[in-house]
Structure 1
């Protein structure tokens, strides 16, 4: 979490103001805390739901879904004929996601895809209304390019961990974006900086940063 960048008080207010968690989301949060599993958390989860509603999303694609936390937030924002595509390289995590969706009554909205998300997205036709990037950080640019032709005007691309996470260092990302020659940094930090540099200059896209959780870069297809 970006505790040094976003105070616990601000994060707490964001969670309190956001949509109420149901029993499944509370269980997911408890699981993430117990196992140390990285999720976007309720602060960002509420934003995912709100952004999906704001663009009247019908179809959502996730590059990396874990045990389905962010996808569940999206599913709650979709109508009964909506679709969220979960992708996960870990078959066990994907099965856990399926169980949560079954118990939450939203399994009919989900496609559970096991394998590499960048390969999987090639098998789907567009358009997607919302896309979440949460796969390997050094592949964010590749993921963006794989899906950009499957977006409509007004579609959103949301990139998690745009500020920090694991070996991603926020100060390194800032320096990588601002300094020439580029300083040495972790592969993940370089991957995030490359993505932010790529998407901020991508034709027909406008990007800004949501500074909650571990940072979410929000790009809209113009």
Structure 2
């Protein structure tokens, strides 16, 4: 696995300390490496599972699920009657996610929704104990606003790519957060900076950065 923005030794230590991966997760990791598919990776995956356990999560909602990697980590941390809602615009990737979940014996803990995640969340009642925001970067703030009233008290909203990604530059994000104009900043960087500024400004939220993978912003909602 690539270490992303973080030093490879730190990422490797995080992987070693985290939960063991089963055969399905190992296959997913191999696929991500071979195809260059962007997943959170095992170091962050272990943290997602731990966050779910820390808040005693029963329901999880994902804005953007790909072939189900992060959702699989969540599902393993949920009780047998728990639910993780996967959303994905690519029907083939969603079908692959369903297959992975079936093979891992976790399909009964998952709902697979094909289509735009922000449209999908409007059809769901809360509460959700954990939310993962990993859709189009310029729409992160929109995703947060669409789900915030459905987050349970003490629940967490987790945003991936808070430091870097293909269309996210950490220096631009930092500059924008400092109030610099940065006219050449990509839309992804602007979306992340807008999201981080927005959640940090909420009176009923507290946000901190988990510097693993490509950066994870964790927001606790009171």
Bin the TM-score by the shorter chain: over 0.9
Residue 104 of structure 2 is matched in structure 1 by: 104
Q: Which residue in the other structure is 1:84 paired with?
A: 84
Give SS of 2:125's match: coil
Structure 2: where are the runs of 5+ without partners?
A: none
**In 2, Cα distance between the equivalents of 1:136 and 1:100?**
24
Residue 167 (structure 1) aligns with: 167
Aligned residues, how many?
A: 221
Q: Rate the CA distance shift 1:148–1:48 in 2: closer, same or farther, 3 A.
A: same
Question: Are the equivalent residues in 2 in contact too, given 1:129–1:155 (CA < 8 A)?
Answer: yes
TM-score normalized with structure 1 length: 0.97
Against the structure 1 CA distance between its residues 38 and 194, is the aligned structure 2 distance closer, same or farther, given a 3 Å change threshold? same
Between the aligned partners of 2:176 and 2:3, the Cα distance in structure 1 is 19
RMSD: 1.0
Conservation of the 8 A alpha-carbon contact between 2:98 and 2:112: yes
Moved more, 201-210 or 61-70: 201-210
Q: Is the 8 A contact 2:40 2:70 kept in 1?
A: yes
Q: Secondary structure at the match of 2:11?
A: helix
SS at match of 2:79: coil
Alpha-carbon distance, 1:182 to partner: 4.5
1:209 counterpart residue number: 209
Q: Is the 8 A contact 1:86 1:111 kept in 2?
A: yes
SS state at 1:203 partner: coil
Match of 1:194 in 2: 194
Residues 88 and 116, structure 2, Cα contact 8 Å, conserved in 1: yes
Q: CA deviation at 1:151?
A: 1.1
In the superposition, the TM-score normalised over structure 2's length comes to: 0.97
State the SS of the aligned residue for 1:172: helix
Aligned 8 A contact 1:63 1:118 in 2: yes
- The answer on 1:51 being equivalent to 2:51 is yes
Q: Is the 8 A contact 1:2 1:164 kept in 2?
A: no
- Tell me which moved more, 120-129 or 197-206: 197-206
Q: Do the aligned residues in 1 keep the contact of 2:86 with 2:113 (CA within 8 Å)?
A: yes
| 1:99-178 paired onto structure 2 within 5 Å | 99-178=99-178
